[in-house]
Amino acid sequence: MAAAQTEHEVPKSMLCPKFLHANSTSHTGPFSAFAELIDNAYDTDVNAKQIWIDKTQIKDMECLTFMDNGNGLNYKSMHRMLSFGYSDKKVVNGKHPIGIYGNGFKSGSMHLGQDAIVLSKSKNDLCVGMLSQTYLKRTRAEQINVPIISIKKTEANKFSVMEEHQASLRDILDHSPFNTEEELLTELQAIESSFSSTGTRIIIWNLRRTSSGKPAIDFTTDRYDIRIPCDDLDSSDPESHSSLRAYCSVLYMKPRMQINIRGQKVKTQLISKSLAHIVKDFYKPAFVKQKIPITFGYNTKSKDHYGLMMYHKNRLIKAYYRVGCQRNANNNLGIGVIGVIECNFLEPTHNKQDFDNTDMFRNTIRNVKEKLEDYWKEILYKRQYRNPSNNVPIEQEEKRPDQNWVQCDKCQQWRKLPDGIDPDKLPEEWLCYMNPDPLFRRCETMEEPEDSDSEQPANPKTYKIQEEDQKKQKMKEFKKTSTPKKTRTPKDGASASGLSTSSSQPVITDVFSLSKNPSRPQPTASQKKSKRQKLDGLKRKLVPDMSLSSSTTPPTPIPCKDLNIDDDLLEGSSTPAPTEPTFQPFEVRLESDPMDSAYVAFTSPHKSFVDVPTVCYVDSYTSTQMRDEEEEEEEEEEDEEETRDKSTQMPGPRVKDEEEMNSSTAANDGAKVMEEGMISIIQAQEEQDQLMELLQSVSNERDSFKESVKELQAQLELEKKCADCQTAREKAEKLSREKEDLTCRLDQSSKEMEKLHLKVKQLEEEKATTTVEPQV
């Protein structure tokens, strides 16, 4: 057969009938095919309020039926629906259409069965169309033919089909379950029984079967549901994977249409408001102007069913999609947490079961993953903060939804119920006048706004603040433990000067503490001149004290006032010169010691800074203590002069003994001063630790006060709202009482008027009789 030509002799694309089956395989399961047919009734061009899904028996054939009470289809719209790729749906009253590809009915109906017939009634037309693989096989069609007829109903309830539609009528009667015009008319009249004058009815037969010959969908397990055989499912899967009723309850983010399956209404739910511990967060992608809200909360029905519920234009695309920490089943992180997000900025695949794997989709998943983990950590932190003794995992606790919402069966609007009302105990048919809230007791009243006062605030992420505080606290503790103390308590057997017995470094006695500022200028007090020149023998005595070999005898301070040593010798020689002994040293510190660099050694005999290879640091003394020590040193020097004068007349060993006595006396004095300084430092450290503990307790108390203030504020708002409701109720009762009073008064006045009318009539009669009597 030659390819079909256009008027410009350019070949047209041909569509083989086998494409119907190939196109139907895009659906991963029956429920996505059901959703395509439900979407067609929900969309703005049809705008149905109810849809009925059921199983029926037509001439020994098991059939699926879909019927809605929408606007119906005319001949042109019927032809577009049975063709491929035509979709010109638009936004109506802020309601975005779901269909975008013009392929949903073809792929969905042909996945459920091999043949489908569509009967529709609009305001002016009755149309019937058929899409049938069996018909195409029997007629050996090389392209997809779709018989469509437009019917005009006469007064005698008979068909009136146009001449150009006669061939389509014959094919429909020959290859469908309805072989006469009366049978077709009966099916069209069934649409009127849906409490609407318009609507569409779809019948699918030759239902799909598995490779083993069993039906792909189960009608027998539950007489009020349509299920997928359990052999094909995992027991841990959510109920929405096996039950059409459960799937339809979450099919739309905010349902606006009532779905009835096998005679019973589906209890749809606002998934974003049916969770526990609800928190709203926001995602601001770079490719979208406005922020995208994300609602997080815990599943109140089953902790095993969790993940992201991703919607596109109000329609569910991905259900219970686990991200981040939820993907690892062994870490118990994020269990039970559900995230709800509407991703209108992403492109769904043609079967509406996934999103295109683009950079935008991957960036969205990555950001939502971080926010989900933030929510989980924040909830655990708040729970631990409020009740530290609670060791039960949060996913094991029984939970109730934070809010209860119910949909009116008449106006399809959602109403919020007061706390304490169980939605499961509401009547099967619920209407607005049953609402306990008098402000929303009429169908004409608008819904409560999406972001009402009861909406939870954005996730504050206070756990991050707590983690930062803990890190700072650990750093402080680490610094305390890793930094050596300025003074150490001398142990038994240690030298009185507090120096290590193994140290062979020289002792620097004239040292000032710079606190935390090593560049602070030194005191400008004039240096007292020494009374005499120091002996050369003392220089020679300094040499063995600075040797690098270990010694069992600790180094002792030099009991001298001044030394004749040049500054060049101090800088170039490996043996630094001792300085003036203003007070006893506490501890000698090597330059390589890992100590705070805020302490430096300085002072020459002229109070100038000197770089030396060793550092001795002590706490600052008061000026009074320094003066007392200088006076004591002067007295000691006078005693030393006297002993030296005597030593000139005594042998050498005697002079040596006196020098050892003087050194031991100085060491004892240094030990006393060291003990006193050490005690003061220990006391200061203890006071500092007490202050830190007090500060931490005050901080915790402040946080608890903040939480209490928030709870009290929320309670105050609730009480205020209750007071407003109570005021409104009292006002309504008052008005009703006034109305009753007015009606009573009106009745009384009407009775009085009747009496007056009677009196007027009597007076008129009397008047008439009086006027007649004189004539007689």
pLDDT class of 568 with cuts at 50, 70, 90 = very low
The C-alpha angle 50, 51, 54, rounded to 5 degrees, equals 145
Residue of 379 and 508 predicted with greater confidence: 379
- Predicted local confidence at residue 64, as pLDDT: 95
Kindly report, residue by residue over 268-304, the tens digit of the pLDDT.
889 988 899 999 999 888 888 888 999 999 998 888 8
Evaluate if residue 8 carries a pLDDT over 80. Answer: no
Evaluate if residue 711 carries a pLDDT over 90. Answer: no
- Predicted local confidence at residue 641, as pLDDT: 60
Kindly report, residue by residue over 459-468, the tens digit of the pLDDT.
666 776 777 7
Lowest mean per-residue pLDDT among 53-62, 340-349, 493-502, 752-761: 493-502
What gap in Å lies between CA 776 and CA 773, rounded to an integer? Answer: 5
- Predicted local confidence at residue 750, as pLDDT: 83
- The number of beta carbons lying within 10 Å of the beta carbon of residue 112 is 24
Q: Can you give the pTM of this predicted structure?
A: 0.59
Evaluate if residue 649 carries a pLDDT over 80. Answer: no
* Percent above pLDDT 90 for the chain: 23
CA 241 vs CA 31, 235, 615: distances in Å: 8, 10, 76
Give the residue among 657, 509, 658 at the shortest CA–CA distance from 580: 509
Report the 3 state secondary structure along 191-251.
HHHHCCCCEEEEEEEEECECCCCCECCECCCCCCCCECCHHHCCCCCCHHHCEHHHHHHCC
Residue of 95 and 324 predicted with greater confidence: 324
- Predicted local confidence at residue 309, as pLDDT: 95
Average pLDDT over residues 401-428: 87
* DSSP assignment of 530-542: PSSPPPHHHHHHH
Lowest mean per-residue pLDDT among 449-453, 576-580, 713-717: 576-580
pLDDT class of 174 with cuts at 50, 70, 90 = very high
Q: State whether the Cα torsion 656-657-659-660 is positive or negative.
A: positive
pLDDT class of 726 with cuts at 50, 70, 90 = confident
* DSSP assignment of 271-306: GGGSSEEEEEEEE--TT-SS-EEEEEEE-SS-TT--
- Reading phi first (left if > 0) and then psi (alpha if -120 to 50, else beta), residue 334 is in left
Evaluate if residue 35 carries a pLDDT over 70. Answer: yes
Q: State whether the Cα torsion 764-769-774-776 is positive or negative.
A: positive
Kindly report, residue by residue over 188-244, the tens digit of the pLDDT.
888 877 667 889 999 999 999 888 888 889 999 999 999 988 765 666 778 888 999
What gap in Å lies between CA 25 and CA 589, rounded to an integer? Answer: 82
CA 348 vs CA 23, 312, 342: distances in Å: 17, 8, 12
- Predicted local confidence at residue 482, as pLDDT: 65
